[in-house]
Structure 1
């Protein structure tokens, strides 16, 4: 993932709020419920002071001045008020919890969906440079971390602000002097909070990176478990996982060290404010300059004001973790898409399958070799083979045809239409791809076969499977088409997976079929089966074959020999063998005549 410069947590919060602007009404409503709940929550402390005033002053109490003369009436009024205050507090606690939690779940779901859909539009170069573990950690763990903050932290922030303002108003109304004393620790607390945030921000960004590294290690090891076992590398991989886990632990330890140091500082500041109110207010009450009930209100409210500050460290801790995750999520969402699908133009139907590369050049990011000035045409219905050493540029041409990458020079045409000027959906729907690295999704044989054509009938499926010479082994499976293939097709052999991949591409019924080294890692039987299939399917569609085994492409209409990203020879098999060039030399090596 692109390394963005560190932005502050508040900048990340601003980015998140811009993203969530569609939820503005829910955020405001939830915040209002949190606000009202907190006002109800601090009201009992005020009522306690008023009750003390009633007991001490009776007919001269504050409540008496409201028209309730006897102490019994005043207590009854306070009891009724207490009931409604507690009921109101309970009601709005229920409302804010429902609203914040539903918002957290909704936003979590939308973020995960948006990041996944955006990732699908990114160029292949992004995935080749980015580990799948980091992406999974961003879409899953980081989104969950943000959800945890929205689930409880957002309400805590709102209520803390409301507490400071509301309690402050009561304090200044009763005694400005005591208000100043009670609030005197708050500047220290705020300074400590920002100091902690500044120190903790980079530490939690490192924590999120270490989570991604750990996820990558787990994903790679579980995916390569057969290789690990075959090399008896279990102990070594366990040690490597332990190292990644320890790195994550150490990153967390550094962050925890900062947050833990913050809590004692806050506690001492709270104690100073409470002692000031307790002592000065008590002396004023003894002198008669402060009502006893008001003194009770101030003592209780001081604790209500300052005690939540002790949880500020945990709140900031949660906030920092969430904002570190937010940065990673939004950075992924802002990753640029280079292969833009801005066109809504489709290829003209019916697509015949003429393919033309016109002076096409491309180099990978960082200047890595690609292809230079490639120019060739394939007539609809013909079979063209691309041969050459590994890294010569054969697969790059296929990636350019599919617009996984954009040419830096030249153009690619299908039926005379530039692939840049048609939608990606229209382009890719007319191309069936069978790659060397077959990917089968976890599910049934049927689900994998109909992946490119979900509405295919059983007769269509069977016909495609027979053409790919896959039907005989499918029939022999325990549940036939309904047999589970396992993760990445692990329950099938390599040859079976390759034939299913070919059948899947055939069932898609695209006018252009691309075989990217589809026979390089299969047994002789599967190779022969695929070769027979090619003879059957090559009559009514354009076939582009990348092959290392030259025996599989002797019947191709045209063969292009590629070296260092350029076409160095072209012709059919007989002509190239007779020419005595690079193709002829490779043929002799493979057939044993070298």
Structure 2
């Protein structure tokens, strides 16, 4: 895990000054923290030795004056200790907060840039655990653990120096347990590392199940599957508890082992140090200093167990967070600029092949989409329709074939500019937990209220928005749960209209809406598609019958091409599907 710590230091290099200052304040605080024990020994020396005390040898012969000096030094020492405690607390806590903030934002920004392929085998709950719980774990370590480690090391050095100055022989024996304690602590830490890695993975699974169930709570209720899902959560939580129990069994053994080593050191100082004092080898004041310092050094070492535990949890968490940051960005965001005003919208798919893993979806698909025309893609589920759109938006990259926009390979264009030129409306509408107006203006924060209302009217959404409690200022709830599916779809269309893109993409935008909403969306599309390239994916052929060109896909290949009338006349799979859909509607009407 030292590699995780070094990776964190490398990531946080712009905070090195803060870390150095915080460490310096921790050292200074510990220096002043140890001095009161020394003063106790000096005070005992003054009371016992009087004019022959240590202070008398420094020139302060009067015992009362010696006590006054001790009082003044005590005030200064306690004041210094309090000052540096305030300073190190301030520095470490601010460092923890700032680093937590930066790490979470950087990790989230990096996750946003990762290709969709990265998320295929990743649990959303596990990513949530990394971006939230794991980063908080690091914050907890920096808040207290880092200072504790520094102060334990500092105490060891300072107390050892005093011991060797006052009684070298005693120091060798009494401090012998310290290296053993440090070695044992880090031995435990290495052994416990894989157990905490299992704990972090287990908590990610719990978060994943909770996230999935809360999003699907309506389905769970509808199928009365509450007990079934509760059992799933119980199973995941039980695995988390078992993983934690395995870690706890090992971490709990650290403190008893350290206590036995501490006991040996303290007894040696108490007995052998007392013998040296009685025989006159060391003074009574020196003996008092050694007894107090032994306790000051050795007993806090029991806290090493908690520190090591916190450190290991933090290193495991940091390793997971930095692992996300290290995930390669396989899609290049840079490229030639694409000014929106210069986009005409002519698209060409050239011998495009693509697969998800070993599953091939597209096979050398070639087709042309002239600028300003409406083109539709129809076909059975899995025929490759939506994959074409995902490749156009560069959610995925294809190693075989190419897509060009106005004659330029889209892989050579700046990704942000490419996506700004495309208005995308999907079947699964994403709405934020904001107002209606904020959702229409999503990604366009400077849009005026007038433009938002105009876009809503164009999408025939203004009427239902006006009936909402606060109109355009009504909060839609998480993922728009306060709105119906049709209302969410109209807001998504209004969002695309407000964007005013040169290319409009509708991916099954009307598949989950009622006939009235579909008709309203169709009327809107007839207006907004004029003068812009429009790509429509639909199962309902009535949605695409007025398209300038319809491509019929089967198993990743273009099987038929033409207008609605031409395809009906050809009598192929499109005509068969049309007869099936219209026949179903006729029978329903009858």
TM class by smaller structure: over 0.9
Change (3 A) 1:399 1:507: same
SS at match of 1:559: strand
Q: State the TM-score, normalizing by the size of structure 2.
A: 0.97
Over aligned residues, Cα RMSD in angstroms? 1.4
1:454 matched to 2:445? The reply is yes
Q: Which residue of the partner structure matches residue 228 of structure 1?
A: 220
The equivalences for 1:131-280 within 5 A come to 131-280=123-272
Determine which of 532, 537, 557 is the counterpart of 1:566: 557
1:306 matched to 2:298? The reply is yes
1:62 matched to 2:54? The reply is yes
SS at match of 1:451: coil
Residue by residue, what CA displacement relative to the aligned partner does 1:323-348 show, whole Å, maximum 9, x if unpaired? 11101110011111111112252247
8 Å CA contact 1:451–1:504 kept in 2: the answer is yes
Residue by residue, what CA displacement relative to the aligned partner does 1:496-553 show, whole Å, maximum 9, x if unpaired? 1111111111111001000001111111111122222222222211100011111110
Q: Which residue of the partner structure matches residue 92 of structure 2?
A: 100
Q: Which residue of the partner structure matches residue 435 of structure 2?
A: 444
Determine the C-alpha separation between the residues in 1 that align with 2:557 and 2:142. Answer: 55
Determine which of 130, 140, 146 is the counterpart of 2:122: 130
Determine the C-alpha separation between the residues in 1 that align with 2:448 and 2:64. Answer: 84
SS at match of 1:290: coil
Could you tell me which runs of 5 or more consecutive residues in structure 1 were left unpaired when the two chains were aligned.
1-8
Q: Which residue of the partner structure matches residue 397 of structure 2?
A: 406
The equivalences for 1:410-449 within 5 A come to 410-449=401-440
1:579 matched to 2:580? The reply is no
Determine the C-alpha separation between the residues in 2 that align with 1:349 and 1:410. Answer: 27
How far is the alpha carbon of 1:455 from its aligned partner? 2.6
Q: Which residue of the partner structure matches residue 533 of structure 1?
A: 524
1:297 matched to 2:283? The reply is no
Residue by residue, what CA displacement relative to the aligned partner does 1:46-65 show, whole Å, maximum 9, x if unpaired? 11111111111111111111
Q: Which residue of the partner structure matches residue 467 of structure 1?
A: 458
SS at match of 1:349: helix
1:17 matched to 2:3? The reply is no
8 Å CA contact 1:347–1:422 kept in 2: the answer is no
Determine which of 53, 66, 84 is the counterpart of 2:45: 53
Determine which of 331, 341, 356 is the counterpart of 2:323: 331
8 Å CA contact 2:262–2:298 kept in 1: the answer is yes
Determine the C-alpha separation between the residues in 2 that align with 1:195 and 1:29. Answer: 30
Determine which of 493, 510, 513 is the counterpart of 2:501: 510
SS at match of 1:592: helix
Q: Which residue of the partner structure matches residue 384 of structure 1?
A: 375
Q: Which residue of the partner structure matches residue 6 of structure 1?
A: none
8 Å CA contact 1:452–1:507 kept in 2: the answer is no
Q: State the TM-score, normalizing by the size of structure 1.
A: 0.96
8 Å CA contact 1:345–1:421 kept in 2: the answer is no
Instruction: Judge which range, 532-541 or 424-433, deviates more.
Output: 532-541
How far is the alpha carbon of 1:368 from its aligned partner? 2.1
Q: Which residue of the partner structure matches residue 119 of structure 1?
A: 111
How far is the alpha carbon of 1:349 from its aligned partner? 2.9
Instruction: Judge which range, 236-245 or 438-447, deviates more.
Output: 236-245
SS at match of 1:340: coil
Figure out how many residues of one structure are paired with residues of the other and give that number.
585
How far is the alpha carbon of 1:194 from its aligned partner? 2.0
8 Å CA contact 2:206–2:236 kept in 1: the answer is yes
How far is the alpha carbon of 1:20 from its aligned partner? 0.6
Determine the C-alpha separation between the residues in 1 that align with 2:404 and 2:236. Answer: 48
Determine the C-alpha separation between the residues in 2 that align with 1:272 and 1:503. Answer: 76
SS at match of 1:26: helix
Residue by residue, what CA displacement relative to the aligned partner does 1:439-461 show, whole Å, maximum 9, x if unpaired? 11111111111114333333322
Residue by residue, what CA displacement relative to the aligned partner does 1:123-167 show, whole Å, maximum 9, x if unpaired? 111123212211111111111111000001110011011000111
Task: Tell me which stretches of 4 or more aligned residues in structure 1 moved more than 3 Å.
Answer: none
Determine the C-alpha separation between the residues in 2 that align with 1:239 and 1:403. Answer: 40
The equivalences for 1:73-88 within 5 A come to 73-88=65-80
Determine the C-alpha separation between the residues in 1 that align with 2:87 and 2:340. Answer: 56
Determine which of 311, 323, 345 is the counterpart of 1:353: 345
Determine the C-alpha separation between the residues in 1 that align with 2:437 and 2:339. Answer: 29
